[in-house]
Chain A
Amino acid sequence: MGKEALDRLRKTEPAEYLSPSSELSRLARAASSHLYSSLVPFCPTKPPLHQLLSEESFDAEQIWSQIDLLSKPLLPFLRRHLARLEKQSNLHSFLPRPTLKSTATEDGDEEKEEELYSEELELELDDEEEEEKGDEDEENEEEKDEDEEEGEAKGVEDKFLKIKELEKFLEDGEAKEYGLSVQNNKIDLDDKDNESNDDEEDAFDLEDLDGDSEEEVANEMENARYEDFFGRQSNKGAQKKSSSKKVKFDDRPQVKEIEYQESDDENENENDENNLSTHEKESAKLRSTIEEMERANLEPKSWTMIGEVTAGKRPVNSALEVDLDFEHNVKPAPVITEEVTASLEELIKKRIIDGQFDDVQRALTLPTKAPRESKELDESKSKKGLAEIYEEEYAQTAMHATAPISVSDELKKEAEMLFKKICSKLDALSHFHFAPKPVIEDMSIQANVPALAMEEIAPIAVSDAAMLAPEEIFQGKGDIKEERELSRSDRKRRRANKKRRFKTDTVKRAAKKPRPTTDANGKS
């Protein structure tokens, strides 16, 4: 009943599928259930449903999900089976082309077929993840469309060129390419299997029919070279088919070439390496690493490996991406937290309470010389008359009589000295400020003699230290330069100063010269 439904579906015109028809849907449901039940015995795990529930009430979605449930465990099983069979196969012979239902395209040209192939490749490239779903979506559609497409474009096809086969072949090739690249990393793809099982019935029938021979064909497809077609046969026995469980329907020259262009490079190396011993493999790996390192050594190093790099030698903003480690000579700024602030405030309060401020106290500079006795200007009317002043003066100079120091002054001076002594002693006891001994100016003449001459009678070692300090011997100011040390500008300055001084001196001398003055009487 199911097979009949399938046949009838095939026979219906494609145009009839466009409009919803209950008859067609009934047929489709019957066909689906037939397929389902035929696949059930092959399922490795216990299928959830033995019969497809395809009553009128069930939606397409629901039917599809049931099919999905069945196919999910089935596909890996089939894949594994295929892989096993591939290992066993050793045949070179090309299989006769199986007759398949072909999908009719609107244009039957070969170019269009290639376009279609490339389009499908692109589509599959883009939607790899959704491929499974998409493919399985296509399932139902294609089941329905099968019969539609059957009748179309019969003119293009013959027993050799089946467009549908072509399409499928292209898809498989594409999948295989990806399967190959994935296989190298030892990951299996599910979607490729789905693709190959687009039309479950057909695919599976094909597999059943062709079995080993198809795998052999796949082998041949991968490993075939120019020689296979046009020359001596290469040693294919050792070459292992590493393709996935893809089913290769057919080999067409143009397809083959395209496929080879894509998958050639990937196949070569693996096939050579697959048959090496462990040691050879290891040495090969070692050699490759050595080569890599040598290549890296020859190439210019990255900027991080060169010693000193200026900004011009490295790319822009590259220092931001690298973790630079350098010494910070500056202490990092302290992070001001609440605790820090609180501690500071506490310290301030404590200090205020204690009255302990770190005030800077002025350090008194010691007087190097005794302060000059400066005569205070008396701003009051002098009590002595002018005559008395001169009288005193005369008395001092002429009679050499010292001015009588009044008794009170002497007493005052003595009292002052005593008080100063006591004050200094008390100061020294009361605070830590160092106060040196007060300078008592003595009027004594110091001659510029060597120090030892004054201090010792028999000097053991003669020192050249003089009694007078250097600044007392020499009183000049600034940087004293010798004749040799003067720069050009200094010399010029000196000369200019000398000239200026000379000029002023001449003017003064001219002024000092007794000018002819006239007396009141007119006598000179």
Chain B
Amino acid sequence: MELPASSAAMETEANGPPPSSAVAPSAAPPKPLFQALKPHEMSDGKIQFRKVPVPPNRFAPLKKNWMEIYTPIYEQMKVDIRMNLKAKRVELKTRHDTPDVSHLQKCADFVNAFMLGFDICDALALLRLDDLYVDSFEIKDVKTLRGEHLSRAIGRLSGKGGKTKFAIENSTRTRIVIADTKIHILGSFVNIKVARDSLCSLILGSPAGKVYSKLRAVSARLAEQY
């Protein structure tokens, strides 16, 4: 009900003759001009929060890279960020001059990616690009492996000195984090798919060379698109 009232008020302000008078048909009432809603106005002026839990193994890196996390979030995304040590969380809050609602979400994703294990520079891409995602899955989702088989599968995924993982990363323009039995992939949707396929085939047991050949073909195709 507020709306019609305000519009009516606006109309009375703008137009001299009342709308009821149909004496002057040539003079149409002026269109109303609304200002864009501010973010806090959109959510009724409420402030939104995001809370990102910190796993114990990421405490030290968090502390080390705090300023690199803080600076882009606070300066460029205009989102408040604080570390809650007692609750072992990173908390994010919108300000009144946050330009966009999605910024908060992006910052939250960025921090989350860092918590998963990605590097700051890699996770930064999340802040900059819209269509980057993080996909996670477990080895047991692909194939039930136990004991030594599992260890071997993890070894196969990484390769010697991580070369298989890097090969996949470089050819598909993604970033991969292998955390024990959990695998996280960061990249665009198509690239995530390709990387996931390669990783799954590695888990299922195909040798690295085979995966490489497929990767080569795929990467060539992907490169040709530009």
Contacts and interface: CB of A to CB of B under 8 A. Distances in A.
A397 B223 CA distance: 12
A388 B128 CA distance: 10
B49 interface: no
A389 B128 CA distance: 12
Interface string B166-185: 11011101110000000000
B226 A393 contact: yes
Interface string A354-388: 00000000000000000000110111111001111
Interface string B194-226: 000000000000000000100110011001001
B125 A387 contact: yes
A397 B167 CA distance: 24
A386 B220 contact: no
Interface stretch (B1-9, B59-67, B73-81, B116-124): B116-124
A417 B176 CA distance: 40
Interface secondary structure of B, over-half rule: helix
A377 B212 contact: yes
Interface of B: 119-122, 124-125, 127-129, 132, 159, 162-164, 166-167, 169-171, 173-175, 186-187, 212, 215-216, 219-220, 223, 226
A391 interface: yes
Nearest to A372: B220
A27 to B, nearest CB: 132
A386 B127 CA distance: 11
Contact of A387 (B122, B159, B163, B166): B122
B128 A380 contact: no
Contacts, number: 67
A374 B132 CA distance: 27
Contacts of B166: 378-382
A385 B226 contact: no
A387 B226 contact: no
Contacts of A393: 226
Contacts of A378: 166-167, 170-171
B185 to A, nearest CB: 11
B163 A385 contact: no
Most interface-central of A374, A385, A387 (chain B CB within 10 A): A387
A377 B198 CA distance: 14
Given A385-B124, A386-B125, A377 B220 contact: no
B173 A386 contact: yes
Nearest to A382: B170
A388 B212 contact: no
Nearest to A397: B226
Contact of B216 (A377, A380, A382, A386): A377
Given A377-B170, A381-B166, A382-B166, A390 B215 contact: no
A374 B220 contact: yes
Contacts of B121: 385-388
Contact of B128 (A375, A381, A391, A396): A391
B223 A386 contact: no
A389 B173 contact: yes
A386 B173 CA distance: 7
16 contacts: A374-B216, A375-B219, A375-B223, A377-B215, A379-B164, A379-B167, A381-B169, A385-B124, A386-B173, A387-B124, A387-B125, A387-B128, A390-B125, A390-B132, A390-B173, A397-B226
